[in-house]
Structure 1
């Protein structure tokens, strides 16, 4: 497991959302650093003013990462679960992201 698998999960989630909605996603409201093109981008990414992967959870507790919470339930409300309005990424791929973070975000 590595970043390429995590990126693939996030990319597929976005592709599925775009296909279901029939329009491109507008990610501008998330903030300028909301991207996952590279591992460095993902580790530095923020959305709505919150780090997607807080440094203190890396190698410790991937379930507590804002990214994982956002994908599973939504940080502040189920209405904010991402991607907004679904279709949502299934739990098995989210668990892969969680484990990747817990394992220290290996390449």
Structure 2
């Protein structure tokens, strides 16, 4: 089972690498909400929740659609470069590895569950 914390770690780390990678002027200091024409695009290089990801959209399309296999979601298609006319995300790389994408697919197929709350510690 893939916990949401692992999905978040994968996406956060890749976005931090992407922000620091050499890229063209179109991608420099880009606001992802503007780039994807969506106010509901999750802040993948900052704080976001499982709910943010499952409710997120890019260019009017839901990133994750309930009830369909992960491989058919717009998020996985974008990460793998399977969306017509869209280069693999993050655009210009560095791209996620197949094992990283497989972990995200597993999380989606398992129901996109948030991590369970951490019980308070008794001192």
TM-score range, shorter chain: 0.7 to 0.9
- Residue 73 of structure 1 pairs with residue 74 of structure 2: no
Q: Which residue of 1 aligns with 2:119?
A: none
Q: Which residue of 2 aligns with 1:13?
A: 14
Structure 2's unaligned 5+ residue stretches are 115-123
Q: Which residue of 1 aligns with 2:107?
A: 100
Q: TM-score scaled by structure 2? A: 0.76
CA distance, structure 2, for counterparts of residue 7 and residue 96 of structure 1: 11
Q: Which residue of 1 aligns with 2:35?
A: 29
Q: Which residue of 2 aligns with 1:47?
A: 58
Q: CA deviation at 1:24?
A: 3.1
Alpha-carbon RMSD across the aligned residues, in angstroms, is: 1.6
Larger Rg: 2
CA distance, structure 1, for counterparts of residue 93 and residue 62 of structure 2: 21
**Number of aligned residue pairs:** 103
Tell me, yes or no, if the aligned pair for 2:50 and 2:113 is still in contact at 8 Å.
no
CA distance, structure 1, for counterparts of residue 87 and residue 67 of structure 2: 23
CA distance, structure 1, for counterparts of residue 91 and residue 7 of structure 2: 19
Residues 51-62 of structure 1: pairs in structure 2 closer than 5 A: 51-57=62-68, 61-62=69-70
Give the alignment partner of residue 72 of structure 2, picking from 56, 64, 72. 64
Q: CA deviation at 1:32?
A: 0.6
CA distance, structure 1, for counterparts of residue 29 and residue 8 of structure 2: 18
Structure 1's unaligned 5+ residue stretches are none
